Structure formats: C-alpha cells, structure tokens
Amino acid sequence: MQESGEIRFYLFDTIQLKAGERMNIQIPGDVGDLLNRLDANGFEAYAVGGCVRDSLLGLSPHDWDIATSALPEETERVFADRRVLETGLKHGTVTVLCGKIPVEVTTFRVDGAYSDGRHPDGVRFTESLKEDLSRRDFTVNAMAYRPETGLVDCFGGLNDLESRTIRCVGNPDLRYREDGLRILRAMRFASVLSFSLERETAESAVRNKALIDRIAAERIREEFVRLLCGPSAADILRKYRDIIAQFIPEIKPSFGFDQHNPHHSYDVWEHILSCVDAVEAEPVLRLTMFFHDIGKPYCFSQSPDGTGHFYGHPAKSAELTEQILTRLRFDKKTAGMVLALVRSHDLPLSPEERCLRKRLNRLGEKNLRLLLQVEEADAKSKSLLSNEYLETLRQVPGALDRVLEEGQCFRLSSLAVNGNDLIDAGIPKGDSVGKALAILLDAVVDGKCGNTKQELLEYIRKKGGTGWTSS
Ligand code: ATP
Ligand code: MG
C-alpha cells in the first residue's frame, strides 16, 4: 500500500516527456546498458544529477551518475562480470567501469543528520527515488531520467532550468546548515551556467556565510576556482562579495577603494572584476587577476595634488596571495605560477629584444606568455589612457617568437661558456665560477656582450681583473 502510494505520487509529480520530445538526453550506449542490466534484474535505475541537468541544457555531461534501488552489494552482483570499484561503499556508491568511462552507481539514499555542518553522520538507503532526489542540493541537480519513464522532476528543476535559476531543494537555511559548501556550490553553478540564485536561496546564502568556516579548505578551493573560471564569474563575485570575503577577508579593503588616479576609471574591486572578466577562463590566469591588486589598499599614498599611488603593491599582493593560497591548500605548481605573475604584473613589457630576454630570464617562456595575457587584461581594465600600452603589448608576441626562433640566449644553459671553460681560463674553482657565470649571463641578456666563447672570456677577464685570473 505504502509502495503503490509512493508510485502514484511519482506519476502525479513527474513531468513525463517522451524521450527526445523537448529534451535531448542521449544516454551513451554503455551507460544505457548499465540501466538496462539493473532494470532486467528487477531494480529501478536512473541517470541523475549533473548529467541530466547538462543534457537538458544541451551541454555534453562530463560524467554520468546512476541512482538505483539496488543495494551496493546487489549492484556488484549484477555487474560481477565487470570491473567494479568499491569507491564509496559506506555511502552506497560503487563505480562500474564502462569501457574506460567510470560510472558511479549509487543506491537511493537519504542523508542522516549533519551535526558538523559538513558531512551526514550516516546515510540510510531507501527504495524511494523521490527521497533520494530530495537530499540533493538544487532543483536543477535533483532530476532523474530513464528512457522508459522520461524525466522525473519532483522539485521544479525543469522550470528552474528554463528560467536559469539555482534554487535549493527545500528550505535554504536548513540545507546550508546541513552542508555549508552548498553556499559556494550555488555560486559556482550560477557562475559556470550563467544562472541567477533564486531570492531566498541567495539571501540565505549571504545570511549563513559563516557556515563556510567549517568547510575543509580543499573543498572551498575547488569551488572557488570553478566559480572563478565561469563565464559569469565577475557578476557572481560582485553580487556575493561578502561571501567571498568570508574565506578571503584580505579582499575586503578593495571593495569601493577609490584609486584617486587618472589611469583608473574603477575602484580597486571593480578593476579586479573587470580583469577577471577580461582574461581567458583558465585557473592560473583567473586567480592571478583576482589577486593581482589585492595589496593595493595596503600600499596607498597620495601626492600633494591628491593623486593616489600604490608603491610596492605587486610585492604586497604577492605576499597576501601566498598566505591565501597556502591557507586554501593550493598545489605548489599553481601557487608558484600565480605568485610569479602577481609579483610581475606591473613589469613593463615591450617588443624590444633586450626587454624580452630579461623577462624570459626572470619568468621563462610559459610564464612570460601568461604575463602578457595578464597585462593585456589589466590594461584593458584601467582607462582609455592605457590604450597606448595595449598597442605596445600587441607587438610583443611577434617579437617574442623571433627572439626564441633565433635562439637568443636568456638562460645559463644556452650561454656559450660553462663553468669548466671559466676554470680553464683561470677562474678559481668555487663561488667565483657561479658569480662569473651570472655576470656573463646578465651581460648577454643585457646586450653588452655577444654570446661567443671568445667574447665571453674576454669580457670576464676585463671584469674580474686579477682577482679572478691566476695569471
Ligand atoms: P559537476 O560534476 O559539473 O560539478 P554535478 O551536478 O554532477 O556537477 P557533483 O558534485 O558531481 O555535481 O555531484 C553530483 C550530484 O550529487 C549533484 O548533481 C547533486 O545532485 C548531488 N550533490 C553533490 N554535492 C552535493 C551536496 N553538497 N549537497 C547535496 N547534493 C549534492
Ligand atoms: Mg558530476
């Protein structure tokens, strides 16, 4: 009785669409086979969550999740002939390998209490798909689909997709209190999909922002980076800046900070947002733009005529960025690149070969090319006065290609002498060799000395005098 009541409820609550009628859910063959196998063994099984959302939006899902009435051990039995990984047995998840695609198959479940505001204390399996959907975060993520049934949409997800709305399933205050990460997930989805947060979902997110304090740094980091890389990142950062300041309080002084400078049409925060928008949606670049001027308010001074200055702000920005990236547990490689770019973002670039060799020497080719993008975004986001510099920057890539093609020397490994050559020429073994190599590299990069063995030895002989040479 209970069960048939549940089924009737579905039919009432489910928007039944014939496959292909107004949506374009094309389940990959392998995933369809999994659904069929579960079905043939007497279990309900649906594609669920992000893959349904993305399919309805006409995007291609990057992975497929299946929700099923089968218990994990039953799923394992059904797929005894395949590779099955017990990825999250405790939470009802096993991963079935479909060729090379791993598909997560999770038993319908409801989460227990969330006493820590992060994880459910436990999960309870259920036979009800609706119960499973009700624990999911947003209506657009709480839809399920299988070809025979069509779309199962108990919470108005399809409507919200159509109006491009992120809305919590249920009461937002309660849902955020269960898991504070949902506040950042809401912002991330809005940024990535260019959606808006429904009013209560938004107001509650701001009201409950302190819940983020309980979330593991890694999870905050992941959502923050994805948010930053969305096409509507600037818009979402602007609307929810107080939530961002909850885990990056160092950004607060930038909000509305007047630069008192004719080169800047925007306050510091609006300039940052404009830069984020102006650069390619790639983590290192977006992070660099977000952080590049965070140190400005800490370095502000004014000349007697009232003009604002920010001497030393790249170093201050890098110092703050390092603290923040460490706190958010960024990997060394990403942090290293972002810090190098933040620290260098004000270094003048020009198509002049000497300048390019110097920059190559300091940054390497990869970071220099990134710096070029950083400086372009920065210049575009200042004022009309920076147009001239933009013009200069446009000439850099061609000049850089030439310097590299010609194999011009900008690092020790391409210097025409090595340590042994210098020792042979009379420089004593030890520190002096390293010092002399550094002097020579500097001279070559600077254009003061040609990169041939003869010229270099001659140069160092003159430089070092008798201090270095034994003769
Ligand atoms: P993407 O993979 O692009 O991030 P997604 O919607 O697939 O999007 P996942 O994090 O892979 O997101 O999670 C899969 C599904 O699990 C979601 O669609 C949602 O239904 C549910 N979900 C994930 N995280 C949460 C959470 N913190 N609270 C409630 N439901 C969640
Ligand atoms: Mg997913």
pLDDT score for 23: 55
pLDDT score for 328: 98
Among 248, 337, 327, residue whose Cα is nearest residue 285? 337
Q: Any idea which architecture 412-466 has in CATH?
A: Orthogonal Bundle (1.10)
Percentage of the chain with pLDDT > 70? 93
Gap from CA of 63 to ligand 2 centroid (Å): 6
d(CA 404, CA 441) in angstroms, rounded, equals 16
Gap from CA of 350 to ligand 2 centroid (Å): 44
In ligand 1, the atom with minimum distance to the C-alpha of 185 is 27
Average pLDDT, the chain: 91
Q: How is residue 21 annotated by DSSP?
A: S
Query: What's the CATH fold of domain 171-247?
Result: Hydrophobic Seed Protein (1.10.110)
**Which helix (H) or strand (E) element contains residue 197?**
strand 196-197
Given a cut of 80, is residue 471 above it in pLDDT? no
Q: Is 342 left (phi over 0), alpha (psi -120 to 50) or beta?
A: alpha
The residue whose CA has the least distance to atom 15 of ligand 1 is 49
> 181: Cβ below 6 Å to ligand 1?
yes
Options 1.20.120, 1.10.3210, 3.40.50, 1.10.1740; CATH for 253-408 is 1.10.3210
In ligand 1, the atom with minimum distance to the C-alpha of 178 is 28
Q: How confident is the model at residue 468 (pLDDT cuts 50, 70, 90)?
A: low
> 54: Cβ below 6 Å to ligand 1?
no
Is residue 377 within 8 A of residue 279, CB to CB? The reply is: yes
The residue whose CA has the least distance to atom 2 of ligand 1 is 50
The residue whose CA has the least distance to atom 21 of ligand 1 is 136
Which pair of tokens denotes residue 468? 């270095």
In ligand 1, the atom with minimum distance to the C-alpha of 226 is 4
Domain boundaries, the chain: 8-163, 171-247, 253-408, 412-466
Give the type of residue at 375. E
**Radius of gyration, CA atoms only, the chain:** 29
Q: How confident is the model at residue 365 (pLDDT cuts 50, 70, 90)?
A: very high
Query: What's the CATH fold of domain 8-163?
Result: Beta Polymerase; domain 2 (3.30.460)
Q: How confident is the model at residue 449 (pLDDT cuts 50, 70, 90)?
A: very high
Is residue 77 within 8 A of residue 99, CB to CB? The reply is: no
Among 396, 403, 401, residue whose Cα is nearest residue 445? 403
The residue whose CA has the least distance to atom 7 of ligand 1 is 50
The residue whose CA has the least distance to atom 17 of ligand 1 is 49
What's the mean pLDDT in 344-357? 97
Percentage of the chain with pLDDT > 90? 80
